[in-house]
Structure 1
Amino acid sequence: MPDRPDPLPGPALAPPAAHHDPGPRRIVVVSASVGAGHDGAAAGLTERLRAHGYLVDRQNFLDLLPAGAGRLVCGTYHRLLTWAPEGYQHLYRATDRTSRPSWIWRALFRSAERRLLRGLPPDTRAVVSTYPGASQVLGALRRRGLLTVPALTYLTDFSVHGLWIADGVDAHLAVHAVPAAQAHAQGAAAVTVAGPVTDARFSPPADGQRSAARARFGLPAHAPLALLVAGSWGVGPVREAAAEIRATGLAVPVVVCGRNSALAGHLRQDGVEHAFGWVDDMPGLMHACDVLVQNAGGLTSLEAFAAGLPVASYRCIPGHGRTNAEALEEAGLAAWVRRPDDLGPVLAELLNGSRGGDQRAAGLALHRSAPGPVPAVAARTGNRPPSPASTPAPPSSGPKGPSARGRRRDRRRLGAAAVTVAATLSLGVLAPLACAYEHAPGRFTAVTHYLHGDRS
């Protein structure tokens, strides 16, 4: 990696008196329901903006794609991570090496432009993206002059994939100097170290909270506990990691499987007593535990830093899981355990050694040292709202008969599916998908049902 430039300072938040326009200050945040990390960052950003007096609207980028193509994109991504992880690794590398998205992806992104513009209220002051695809759309709209208010990207990961950097985006906000340097090296505009946004409930436990949380979750009162998380989808070699944590004898594994209820059942069959599905009170569960072991390096890691937990990256998922682990290690915020033989020594250092204390201090400092993204957003909201003429008019309704609507729907569904499948195949993941289909063809029935229009 090239030498990192000095992190760029965050802009100061102007006092209320500096705003000459008395009208409402509305920000639109565009996220994507791919896992939970992008939506989690959008929720934290929304909370901060509203606390500063902004009106905030949310859009889901996947809903802006035509004919359910967003659902197909998300499903394909999930299936690659679950059944052909090395195919996702190939996809990640292929898209990261390109200076701009391929024409297939540009066509898919362009299909969202009209809906995104139509969804912007007239008093919108700025649009903030927490998802790479949305950033690409916003950048294209800014370049062509169709979006007349600033577009900002909030980089949710510690490593910066090439798709995050879109020409035309006015500013890029990073959670730390390491991703800020990566974005700057890739030509991102106006890179600012803004710091993370997490729920305020994630904080170090106060007196009595630790024991109360352990009792509430039915956890051992005194044993060291290692919280093992695998995102909202529960993907990756989680069973192996849980068994290896237990085999060290240093901590009892407490596993959160997200929405993967089958994984929770398998873990209990493996003898892992404390296996949970979706957990609403993650701050409480973090209060109960002593160390976090994660495999993706996303929002949960930032929440653990705020809660004062040391973090280890282990058995990371391909793509962003591995690059995030490398970046977190470079930042001094998390240990990356690359080999099973190193798991025990690292856990011992985090639980009982100085490394654990150092990481706790670094994680807490991350949340306390940066100004947060609101000042950077505020510094960009001086532009006038877009005029009605800048938003394309909605398409004419055309024939009203149900057969015409059905034909249009079928054409849109077929076109979106074709573009999405072509995008996947054009990046060289056909072989991994074929291998996965050969070993478990029944798993692909959901895709077959989708292409035939079965929504059940």
Structure 2
Amino acid sequence: MLTFTAPSHPADRIRRMSIDSERPGPLLQIRPGTAPRVAIVSASYGAGHNSASREISRALGGAGCDVEIFDFVDLMPWRLGRALKVGYKMQLRISPDSWGTTMSLTMPGRPFHEPFTRLLRLSTANIVEAVRGADLIISTHPFSSQVIGHLRTTGAVTVPTVTYLTDAAVPALWIHPGIDLNLAIHEVAAREARALGGSTAVVQPLVPPGAAYVPGKTFPDPLAGLGLIGPRALVTGGSLGAGALEQTARDILEHSDMTPVVLCATDPCLKRRLERIPGVVALGWRTDVRALMATSDCVVQNAGGFTSLEALASGTPVITYRSISGHGAANSVNLDRAGLVPWARDEIELAKHLVVAADSPRFNRLALGVPDIVGILTGTRDATAVA
């Protein structure tokens, strides 16, 4: 069971944890012969949040916890979660640049924030039932964080709550004062979360087993049958194939000697369009992305999501280009500031970064000197302080 003492008022807890964030108290206690229950609430608006949830489950399950993952999409009543999901996917495919405007309108202080959060809170009863009996609740999506933070503040949830910030940037919708601890994947994101009032620690980013670069390890080339000659750039827009991937492929063709290999993911229309462009390799949904990364000279991404973390871990140089608006642009800024992924803002900068990437050494580019999630939650390793 957990050992956690909550202050009498949420504001007191926030102030105390801000002051004492260098030593966040243990939120999880694992004893021999016990299996604390951890409830993870994700949201399948894009695959990255679910991927992070699986890796959290893997890490905590391996430490002896009983972990269950819930999808916020299914916890919304009257199929509202699925309606939001369909709308999100359609918007990113039809008008990806409008997503930033939509997201900004739902931020705290903006016109649609209160109506939107009230809409999200329609999931309250289902979430309370889902997490009943849990010793710790972890959210991996801002929608669920808003609801769980509200439940924590009102006392409907009495166990510790954690948000795992899957993005490199932290819009205000991610942070709720009722959440006990936010986990950020690098210090730039952690500072943003702290500035928004969230108690935050830096955690070692979670990626799937086998994703990390191992010196000397090689992968069979998944595209060996295509007879490709010369360097190649793997282009990704995440699990939805979102953003200006077609124009990105054309720019790589025009401004470099690399072959653009585009992951079209779940967008068959994009794949058909790209197949008509000479020199472009268009791929659908793939399960061998790790091998594709390893056999590419660089990865060109536009959203800064979970795929970017996998690419950074793989050792393959990563470049941001034509980032999608909203979270994509914000992630691009922070990944650049953190020194993790350079942001090419035009074709000339893209050309320069592609040249540099072709000659860059391979190494795991993710931070490895910070505590892992088990260490932070159990207090067995000191959390990295963030000023």
Task: Tell me the equivalent position of 2:182.
Answer: 172
Distance 1:218 1:29, change over 3 A: farther
Check the 8 A contact 2:332/2:343 in 1, yes or no: yes
- Aligned partner of residue 111 in structure 1, secondary structure: helix
Amino acid at match of 2:172: G
Instruction: Give the CA deviation at 1:367.
Output: 4.1
Give the Cα–Cα distance (whole angstroms) in 2 for the partners of residues 20 and 58 of structure 1: 22
Distance 1:208 1:159, change over 3 A: closer
Amino acid at match of 1:316: S
- Aligned partner of residue 278 in structure 2, secondary structure: coil
Structure 2's unaligned 5+ residue stretches are: 1-17, 381-387
Distance 1:100 1:42, change over 3 A: farther
Aligned length: 363
Report runs of 4+ in structure 1 exceeding 3 Å deviation.
Answer: 5-14, 18-23, 205-208, 214-219
Task: Tell me the equivalent position of 1:60.
Answer: 71
Give the Cα–Cα distance (whole angstroms) in 2 for the partners of residues 13 and 371 of structure 1: 13
Task: Tell me the equivalent position of 2:263.
Answer: 256
Task: Tell me the equivalent position of 1:336.
Answer: 343
Q: Residue 224 in 1 paired to residue 234 in 2? A: no
Check the 8 A contact 2:128/2:157 in 1, yes or no: yes
Distance 1:56 1:119, change over 3 A: same
Q: Return the structure number with greater helix share.
A: 1
Relative contact order: is structure 1 or structure 2 higher (C-alpha 8 Å, sep ≥ 6)?
Answer: 1
Task: Tell me the equivalent position of 1:351.
Answer: 358
Task: Tell me the equivalent position of 1:114.
Answer: 125
Give the Cα–Cα distance (whole angstroms) in 2 for the partners of residues 57 and 182 of structure 1: 29
Instruction: Give the CA deviation at 1:214.
Output: 4.7
Check the 8 A contact 2:41/2:139 in 1, yes or no: yes
Structure 1's unaligned 5+ residue stretches are: 381-456
Q: Residue 281 in 1 paired to residue 288 in 2? A: yes
Give the Cα–Cα distance (whole angstroms) in 1 for the partners of residues 376 and 102 of structure 2: 32
Instruction: Give the CA deviation at 1:29.
Output: 0.6
TM-score normalised by the chain length of structure 2: 0.87
Task: Tell me the equivalent position of 1:46.
Answer: 57
Task: Tell me the equivalent position of 1:373.
Answer: 373
Instruction: Give the CA deviation at 1:225.
Output: 1.3
Give the Cα–Cα distance (whole angstroms) in 2 for the partners of residues 6 and 254 of structure 1: 48
- Aligned partner of residue 366 in structure 2, secondary structure: helix
Q: Deviations over 1:395-438 (max 9, x none)?
A: xxxxxxxxxxxxxxxxxxxxxxxxxxxxxxxxxxxxxxxxxxxx
Q: Please, which of 298, 303, 321 is the counterpart of residue 305 of structure 2?
A: 298
Give the Cα–Cα distance (whole angstroms) in 2 for the partners of residues 239 and 7 of structure 1: 48
Give the Cα–Cα distance (whole angstroms) in 1 for the partners of residues 106 and 254 of structure 2: 38
Amino acid at match of 1:181: R
- Aligned partner of residue 117 in structure 2, secondary structure: helix
- Aligned partner of residue 213 in structure 1, secondary structure: coil
Distance 1:217 1:29, change over 3 A: farther
Task: Tell me the equivalent position of 2:198.
Answer: 188
Q: Residue 233 in 1 paired to residue 237 in 2? A: no
Matching of residues 404-423 of structure 1 within 5 Å: none
Instruction: Give the CA deviation at 1:167.
Output: 1.7
Q: Residue 204 in 1 paired to residue 213 in 2? A: yes
Task: Tell me the equivalent position of 1:134.
Answer: 144
Instruction: Give the CA deviation at 1:282.
Output: 1.1
Check the 8 A contact 2:30/2:36 in 1, yes or no: no
Instruction: Give the CA deviation at 1:326.
Output: 0.5
Please, what is the CA RMSD of the aligned residues?
2.6
Distance 1:368 1:10, change over 3 A: farther
Give the Cα–Cα distance (whole angstroms) in 2 for the partners of residues 10 and 294 of structure 1: 35
**Highest Rg: 1 or 2?**
1
Give the Cα–Cα distance (whole angstroms) in 1 for the partners of residues 186 and 169 of structure 2: 10
Give the Cα–Cα distance (whole angstroms) in 2 for the partners of residues 351 and 36 of structure 1: 29
Q: Deviations over 1:256-275 (max 9, x none)?
A: 11111121111111124421
